[in-house]
Chain A
């Protein structure tokens, strides 16, 4: 049974709509990246997925059941690493894991607790309280807690936050191993490298809507198809010098701009047109494709018009839902 399926999710907090149309699917053995800018609704989506927030529209199914209705039972099968991630600072890591194991009816002996801590690369002194842990150690302990009941679905919010490169690699290996064992993983992160290394699928949300979803390689192929350039500028673009219709500004600041060109226009013609309009261009560099391009492209584009995208990430065809 599919670990997590969200379809057209709508959710309001305090009467204000936060999610308008979010859809994603996490299959068994898949690691799905959930990406989007701050305030896009990623954490809200994750909390709704584990049954902590009630939806106002759409459907959520965790192993075929509604998590809002059957949350207590389903949570035995879900491991969650929330952000922020608080602990009982006066406890030791061992006491903390043993306590949570008890809440999940997982009776762990001392050796099992040691194995759990080793699995996330955490071996603190036996009597060291959690309050004395570094941020990275706390993150590892949170991950150990999420894995305490050997869940079949993992929902992780920024799992590699605060970890050094080696720690990140270890967590990547751990998640890949879990996915290989059939665990579905929903990975919410701002670190695109995590998604590129780990995820088979990605879902981008912006403004409470899914704006693109699909296999990572399909998304990259589709969104990298348009020629993308980075322009170095000697000053700001004059206010009366908008970009021509065949040049789309993806991002810009005082000294630079990233633009997509319409495939129908040649770069030389586009640069001449921009210079004519007063753009202070000093250098032009071709930007390579990648998930960052996809992110900038789909997130800057904003939500697509109603009916303009399909968010079923399980289709074999790339479905990017990019706004026109």
Chain B
């Protein structure tokens, strides 16, 4: 296995198998269980229809994935730097690009595990309705770039700031801001500012794609614009992280 693969395996092992990683997965399971029960309860009380429940669950999984990516990204560079374990990595013969790839690949593995973990919950809340498979595909296609983009953002900020706390704060604020469409009502999102925000916000792109696929019954493949916004977000944050890692000094 080459250096990038080794680093990715180490990162994934740390994120998934260490006590901290297992704690994260447990927390994700608890959160998904809680929301799952709330959504099923709402459905049973006829407060939400089945498609809306699936849509909400997809948004929650994407938000949790982005949150996990932010926490892991802040720890991967800034946290390691604070613990002194980054320096031996910088001293190893790995190009900076390889270091970034290894770090993000570990996060991608953690996101993949989270997707697997989310599927039973998705099935539990949406098994009686339609478009669940389309929703799952949309989650993979759009949730992945959104979540990993937040991981890149945290890696890049961590490389620049060198402090995990300093990295977490702006990333969490941005995440809250971009995930706000989950909480905002339709009228607010239909205002001029809301529409403009939705157009450039990668999280909105993912939510609108989920909406179109799960609620409106459109095909996942037809969400080109939303996919493009998510990919631009991923590419932009990857470039930001790449420059940050390249300029990383001890």
Q: Are A103 and B249 in contact (CB under 8 A)?
A: no
Q: Are B94 and A72 in contact (CB under 8 A)?
A: yes
Q: Are B10 and A85 in contact (CB under 8 A)?
A: no
Q: Are A102 and B93 in contact (CB under 8 A)?
A: no
Whether B1 sits at the interface, judged by CB under 8 Å, is yes
A103 in contact with B3 given A53-B249, A82-B91 (CB within 8 Å): yes
Interface size in chain A (residues, C-beta < 8 A): 26
Q: Are A86 and B3 in contact (CB under 8 A)?
A: no
The residues of A that contact B95 with a CB separation of less than 8 Å are 72
The residues of B that contact A142 with a CB separation of less than 8 Å are 88
Complex: chain A residue closest to B7, CB-CB: A103
Q: Are A145 and B88 in contact (CB under 8 A)?
A: yes
Q: Select one of B14, B84, B250 contacting A90, CB under 8 A.
A: B14
The residues of B that contact A50 with a CB separation of less than 8 Å are 91
Interface residue ranges of A49-75 to B (CB < 8 Å) = 50, 52-54, 72-73, 75
B25 to chain A, nearest CB (A): 15
Q: Are B92 and A88 in contact (CB under 8 A)?
A: no
A159 to B87 Cα, complex, angstroms: 16
B21 to chain A, nearest CB (A): 9
Q: Are A82 and B92 in contact (CB under 8 A)?
A: no
Whether B18 sits at the interface, judged by CB under 8 Å, is yes
Q: Select one of B19, B84, B250 contacting A85, CB under 8 A.
A: B84
Most A C-beta atoms less than 10 A away, residue of B10, B87, B88 = B88
B130 to chain A, nearest CB (A): 44
A133 to chain B, nearest CB (A): 14
The residues of B that contact A75 with a CB separation of less than 8 Å are 91-93
The residues of A that contact B83 with a CB separation of less than 8 Å are 86
B92 to chain A, nearest CB (A): 4
A46 to B121 Cα, complex, angstroms: 53
Q: Are B6 and A102 in contact (CB under 8 A)?
A: yes
A52 in contact with B93 given A85-B84, A90-B19, A145-B88 (CB within 8 Å): no
Interface residues of B, Cβ cutoff 8 Å to A: 1, 3, 6-7, 10, 14, 18-20, 80, 83-95, 249-250
Q: Known pairs A86-B84, A105-B3. 16 more at Cβ < 8 A? A: A52-B90, A52-B249, A52-B250, A54-B249, A84-B84, A85-B87, A85-B88, A86-B85, A86-B86, A90-B18, A90-B19, A99-B10, A100-B88, A100-B92, A103-B89, A103-B94
